[in-house]
Amino acid sequence: MDNKKMIEIINTPIPKNIPTGDMPGDIINITAPVIKKAGLIFPHLYDEYERLNKDRTVISVYGGSGSGKSCIASVLSYMFSLAGINCYIISGDNYPRRIPSVNDSERLSRYNDGGRDALSSYIGTSEEIDFDEINGILDDYHRGKDVLSLKRMGRDEGSVFHESVDVSDTGILMLEWTHGNSMFLKGVDIPVFLNSTPEDTLENRKSRGRDTQTDSPFTTLVLDIEQDLLLSQMNTASLIVEYDGTVRRGRKTVNISPMLNAYPDSVGSKLSDMIDILKIDDLYKAFGSFYILPSIYHSDLDRGFSVIDYDLNEGLASTQDLEDLKSLGIDLKLDFILNHASVQSPQFQDLLKNGTDSEYADFFINWNKFWEGYGTMTEEGYIRPDDEYIKDMFFRKPGLPLLMVRMPDGTSVPYWNTFYQEIKEDGQYLGQMDLNIRSEMVWDFYQDTLKKLGGYGAGIVRLDAFAYAPKAPGRKNFLNEPETWDVLDRVSGMASESDLKLLPEIHATYNEKIHEKICSKGYMTYDFFLPGLLIHAIENHDPSHIVKWANEIIDKKMNVVNMLGCHDGIPVLDLKGILSEDEISSLIDLIVSRGGYVKDLHGKKNMYYQVNATYYSALGEDDQKLLLARAIQLFMPGKPQIWYLDLFAGKNDHEAVKRAGAGGHKEINRTNLSLDRVHDALKQNVVQKQIELLKLRSSHPAFNVGSTVTVKGSGTCITITWKYKDEQIALEADLSDHSFRIQTN
């Protein structure tokens, strides 16, 4: 739509009798402020609608009662009609399981029985609301059904009925509802969050006469719980509208095409060599993204994960390289390590030079200041925390996580050091020092870094070690809640200024459901379950766990990045809760029997973490198994990440492990490939077949962010189908003989 037409629509007078929601007895007051706010929203919303380019779109306008969602949805619907797009407004308040008075009694009963926690576990859940019915309606609409059976709920039992509504020429269903972005709700394409305070909500409910005791303490509690729920869903909204009408984008739409993953020198000797490979016909247009590991920055340890600064490492990469990737249509995923920086960082070097006079004295965590009042000073000059304050603390290594740092005046001061440390014979330090997130200088550093990464062409920023950043005496100091989410919220606000999508990285068991919590707060998460599940499925000819997990991703609307191999090992800790202990042990034994190495959890025996091996070797170096695994990965919901060594059917590199010495087990899967070796690999059938699959995943129109994905299993077979508008593509695989075929319409 051109700007002239947009201005014309926004300035068109709004009649008094425009269509409104279908909640019986609802009072809709279309005021001048409502019209003004809708006019501010409409251009952004129309852009989102056009970008999706769907024949039928579901938009939810959600927020507290005080946000004016019913009125704003009505005006937005009218504006769409002026643009030639017919809308129908559904009121979500028609879909509780109980009429309002009975539901109010149920809420009070829950509260009386179990307090606020019991009430919170009821409000907005499938116990209170018939999500199955509303999800069925949205599904029928998306599938092209001309007539929908819609529920009407009045204030008493006699006023509950259903009505058939013709939507044959309706391009948009506009759902106005407090729970319009719930994790239980399926089928919403564009959620629009109208932010408001509980006080706004209360005043609006009074004006609408919806309740007899609008200002009672219990109603205030209900509104407070609903507000917490709404704020937890805010980051998953497409648009966020503040009370003053300011509109900002919420979730960034990430392209879901395949993403290459490599170090800048994994092929040849520098990033430009990999770019040259991406330009040749074989690989041209196979990838839409590139996750370049952090040795692209200045770093000194852990092959990039001990960052000195986030400037480009000129020996491996240049700004021209980044421009070349952009010209290939490839955006970037880059790392940002929230918790720590190298001892070689300019900030820590300034501290070593100037001691307590350094402007960065509070940039890192002074151990003794942190634990003052919580322990006893030792002869060595550091406070040993009392047992009650560290009994639940999570340790990455033996002993207290501190490094005694020599100051210019000859004194030694302990600083927090969660990860690696080494003091060399000449007194020089190696290691990664924890940042003090209580210092605003650290937050300035965060903001500057995110802007820099955005300038490099990043679309996704992987947050490494984020769960260690918030710390407090007496806490686990790993994923402290709610502080960890508060930190992520603040970082997310900074990231949005540079149009970056955050991918917090964390390994945890399936049973802990941390992956769900990350997604529910609007962030992407890694699918660390798929690599192990695929090997288990292929070796046992049983796709059932894959089918169940894929449908969980779909049903819970999780935004995931999946993979087979990566720069670390094949995760097995994560599988606890999906596979049994015996199944996990068998999986580990199998990969080890094929040349892999087991990494225990932080050195603790019988607490397995991952198995280090190339994915090809983990599958017994069987070409057909690798192709089957790749095909399933590319059809799984999410964005597929491709480790370069898997693409070229790389085998376990035991010689690299020997050269690396103690702790060098990861080198088994990090072989640098010469250009000649890559060109030779490109002649292999298993490599060419993978590239064909990648190009199909990158180009077929059925692979779209707005697609409907279905996953079904039967016996040894699995079928995964993507459908977008009139386009459809399906993978049919039989794990008994590792065969598969792809069908398109």
Distance CA 532, CA 587 (A): 8
CA atoms within 13 A on the CB side of 549: 28
User: Of 48, 505, 653, 667, which one is the catalytic site residue?
Assistant: 505
Per DSSP, the chain holds a count of helices (H) and strands (E) of 24, 32
How crowded is residue 712: how many other Cβ atoms within 10 Å of its Cβ? 15
**Catalytic residue of the set 464, 527, 574, 653:** 464
User: Which contacts of 131-135 are long-range, i.e. CB under 8 A and separated by 24 or more positions?
Assistant: 131/95, 131/182, 131/184, 131/185, 131/186, 133/95, 134/90, 134/92, 134/95, 134/185, 135/185, 135/186, 135/187
Tell me, what amino acid is at 253?
T
CB atoms < 10 A from the CB of 123, how many? 21
Residues of the chain by 3-state class (helix, strand, coil), percent to 5: 40, 25, 35
DSSP states of 29-47: ---HHHHHHHHHHHHHHHH
Q: Across 328-452, where does the E strand assignment appear?
A: 331-337, 340-342, 375-377, 383-385, 402-406, 412-416, 421-423, 429-434
Q: Is 627 helix (H, G, I), strand (E, B) or coil?
A: helix
Q: In sequence order, what are the beta bridge partners of 89? A: 174
DSSP string, 418-483: -S-EEE-TTS-EEEEEEB-TTSHHHHHHHHHHHHHHHHHTEEEEEEETGGGS---TTS-SSS-TTH
Rounded distance, CA 251 to CA 253, Å?
6
Q: How far apart are CA 142 and CA 52, in angstroms?
A: 13
Task: At 401, give phi and psi (nearest 5°).
Answer: -80, 75
CA–CA dist 741, 364 (Å, integer): 55
Q: DSSP class of residue 366?
A: B
Give CA–CA dist 668/703, Å, rounded. Answer: 34
Say how far apart CA 616 and CA 622 lie, in whole Å.
7
Q: From the centroid of its chain, how far is CA 662?
A: 34
Confirm whether 464 is a catalytic residue. yes
Residues in the chain: 745
The C-alpha angle with vertex 260 and arms to 258 and 265, in degrees rounded to 5, equals 170
Element (H, E) at 192: strand 190-194
The yes-or-no answer on residue 302 being catalytic is no
Q: Which helix (DSSP H) or strand (DSSP E) does residue 610 occupy?
A: strand 604-612
CA distance 603 to 213: 59
Residues 308 and 345 sit within 8 Å (Cβ to Cβ): yes
Catalytic positions, written as ranges: 464, 505
